[in-house]
Amino acid sequence: MNITEKELIRLCTKKNARAQKLLFTNYYSSLLGICVRYGKSKAEAEDVLQMGMIRIFKRISSYSGKGSFEGWMKRIIVNVAIDNYRKNSKYYYHHDIDELNGEPYLVSDIPDNLEVNDILNTIHQLPTGYRMVFNLFAIEGYSHKEIAIKLGISENTSKTQLLKARRSLRKKLMRLNKIPQSLNLKIKQT
Amino acid sequence: MKDDLKYIDKFYKNSLGGYEEEAETAVWGKLRWTLFWMRYKWYIGLSSMVILLGLGYFVSYNFIEDSPLSNEIVINTNTEHEFALVANQIIEPTDNQEVKNVDGITETPINNQVENEINLVSEEINTNHTENNSLIGFPNTSENQEPIVVNEQIYLSGISSLDFDMNLSTSPDSNLMGHNRRTDILPPDVRKQWLSVNLYAGPSYSESTLTGFESEYLAFRNLNESNSIGWSIGSDLRFHLKNWIITSGINYSVYNQSRSYNHSYEEYSPENSYFEYDTTWVWIFDPPDYGTPRVAEVDSSWVEVYENVTIDNSGLNQLKYFEIPLMIGYRFNSNMFAIELNTGVSAGFLVYSKVEVPDFSNNNHIVDAGQMNSTMFNFIANASIYYYLNRRTSLFISPYYKQNLQSVFNENYPVKQQFKTIGVNFGVNILF
């Protein structure tokens, strides 16, 4: 079916079921790709996707046409993922950022031969709070201030969790590497 | 200090920034129903309430009303009775001294001191009671109240009190009034009700029409598929505007079609194959001056046996829809009967489908058709006969015709299939 994005949006605004399905079919892969980064499992990601699509269909009439429609949808999906996290998380991790001073830092310790699923698994293994902060900061490009507001945590907590997430990810990536670490790592003294 | 780990961010952004994941098909299934519910929740909720209220009213009217408790609720309010009587009466100067109820059935005499007969005629009441009440300033307690019309001056002092049940005045349609009610004809005011509910169910018979693909394929399908009995159940909310009726509601319709696809073929059976010993050949090696002849080779023909194998793909193709009709009709009243003619359209929402058909490339291979239309619009028409059990409740029988206005398959599917359905619904109608 040849239909423009504008026409598709117009039909979805009118709650046309066929258009809604077409919209879902066109974008679910990329939107689910976002959801799996925030969820702990694919099932959780699919739930987030479903909630996100419902919110998209509810608010599609508010899309002004400025900017990318896909980007607009992705922002909604991210917000739904955040809401889902806030609804389900009972504990936040608060750490003093000074605790992390003095750690050795490693560069170029990422294997070259990693599959996307392996990379995704390393994110899934992160604690939920770390995962949220890392996704928002590193991939979505939010600032710590924005993350703090969205997740209801302090900026320092956001920074701490980001740092811990990075360190945890680095270790997980190193474990994935089949090359002996001694050959692959360059230790930088702090 | 943390900048040294920024390469982790960059790595993940590059690796997962445009990551795409395949979803299970069930995701859209769940989402579709959620969207359906969001879109029609008010309608479904309202219809459910109407059904429940209708059922509740039907049950209470037909079963609770006969409770002896209602007969025990008798309020003797003599003063109020006298006033109410005067306020709603017209005395006709006749010789008889008896009270007739609104339907003309003789009742107990009011009092010997009253020398005028009080005739209570429903038609007069209907035309006069509003004016009388407004003059005296006594409000009607009910729209269906059947006031007494007094044609001649009557004095309160001249009327002695009767034992009077106030509920006769406040709720004339109650069981307390039941013994005064005529049941042989339909009271005129029944026809003034403006809202009613139909609850119904019944069998249907659907005929399928196939178009849009190779005639051989369609002929093959027509040959192996036959019409079958389906059914429907539902509830309608009906607005009565004089004799015109607007009907909407919700019903659950099931369309069935029998399929009898049997594919037979011969399959080689090694177990049953055998050597045909009658065809055995023996080669004997017997060269000159060699001596004793020697059997060089023995061979028999291998007879391959093929068995008939039949794959039975018979079964029932089935489609189930929630349908929301919108019809307009006209009603002809005749005493205890009413005849209605309705026509309109209905929107159907597919909730279940199992349609197995021959594959386009290999007719012996039966596959799930899959590409179903999730919505369906139908033309509908019916002719119904109602029989009034009492003032508010009637039974009806409603033969109907329904035709799909589009194919059950979506536009991408090469074959178009439409159902023409005849059926009959049996139900109950409750007036509000």
The pTM of the whole model exceeds 0.80: no
Report the C-alpha gap between B342 and B109 in whole angstroms: 49
What pLDDT was estimated at residue A36?
Answer: 86
- Name chain B contacts of A29, Cβ cutoff 8 Å: 20-23
Low-confidence ranges of chain A (pLDDT < 50): 1, 91-107, 178-190
Give the CA distances from residue B304 to residues A12, B275, B310, B374, in Å, rounded to whole numbers and listed in that order.
63, 9, 19, 51
Instruction: Report CA torsion sign: B123, B125, B126, B132.
Output: positive
Size of interface A-B (CB pairs under 8 A): 107
Strand-pair partners of B123: none
- Name chain A contacts of B21, Cβ cutoff 8 Å: 29, 32-33, 35-36, 42, 45
The bridge status of strand B375-388 relative to strand B366-368 is unpaired
Say whether pLDDT at B380 is over 80. Answer: yes
Place B122 in a pLDDT band, splitting at 50, 70 and 90.
very low
Q: A69-78, B33-42, B323-332: which range is least confident on average? A: B33-42
What pLDDT was estimated at residue B342?
Answer: 95
What pLDDT was estimated at residue B91?
Answer: 43
Say whether pLDDT at B196 is over 80. Answer: yes
Residue with the larger pLDDT of the pair B316 and B78: B316
Report the C-alpha gap between B30 and B36 in whole angstroms: 10
What pLDDT was estimated at residue B143?
Answer: 47
- Name chain A contacts of B9, Cβ cutoff 8 Å: 134, 137-139, 166
Any chain B CB within 8 A of the CB of A138? yes
Place B321 in a pLDDT band, splitting at 50, 70 and 90.
very high
Calculate mean pLDDT across residues B93-107.
44
Report the C-alpha gap between B31 and A21 in whole angstroms: 9
Report the C-alpha gap between B230 and B251 in whole angstroms: 13
- How close B372 comes to chain A (CA, Å)? 12
Report the C-alpha gap between B397 and B340 in whole angstroms: 10
CB-based burial label for A164 (10 Å; 0-12, 13-18, 19+): buried
Tens of pLDDT, residue by residue over B242-274, are 889 999 999 999 999 988 887 778 888 888 888
Place B107 in a pLDDT band, splitting at 50, 70 and 90.
very low
Highest averaged pLDDT of the listed ranges A28-32, B14-18, B375-379: B375-379
Q: A129-143, B132-146, B234-248, B358-372: which range is least confident on average? A: B132-146
Say whether pLDDT at B187 is over 80. Answer: no
Count Cβ atoms below 10 Å from residue B353 Cβ, excluding itself.
20
Place B339 in a pLDDT band, splitting at 50, 70 and 90.
very high
Mapped to the 3 state alphabet, what secondary structure does A133-170 carry?
HHHHHHHCCCCHHHHHHHHCCCHHHHHHHHHHHHHHHH
Q: Catalogue the E-assigned strands of chain A.
A: 105-107, 186-188
What pLDDT was estimated at residue B101?
Answer: 44
Place B124 in a pLDDT band, splitting at 50, 70 and 90.
very low
Place B347 in a pLDDT band, splitting at 50, 70 and 90.
very high
Q: What is the ipTM of this complex?
A: 0.72
Say whether pLDDT at B104 is over 70. Answer: no
Instruction: Identify whether the C-beta of residue B87 lies closer than 8 Å to the C-beta of residue B129.
Output: no
- Name chain B contacts of A18, Cβ cutoff 8 Å: 374
Q: Which long-range contacts (CB under 8 A, 24 or more apart) does A111-114 make?
A: A111/A173, A111/A176, A111/A177, A111/A178, A111/A179, A111/A184, A113/A178, A114/A173, A114/A176, A114/B15
Say whether pLDDT at B112 is over 90. Answer: no
Give the CA distances from residue A33 to residues A36, A39, A40, A89, in Å, rounded to whole numbers and listed in that order.
5, 10, 13, 22
Average pLDDT for chain B: 74
Tens of pLDDT, residue by residue over B272-299, are 888 888 878 888 888 777 778 888 888 8
**CB nearest to B11's CB, from A53, A58, A110:** A110
Q: Angle of helix A155-176 relative to helix A116-124, nearest 10 degrees?
A: 140
Report the C-alpha gap between B403 and B388 in whole angstroms: 30
Instruction: Identify whether the C-beta of residue A72 lies closer than 8 Å to the C-beta of residue A92.
Output: no
Say whether pLDDT at B100 is over 80. Answer: no
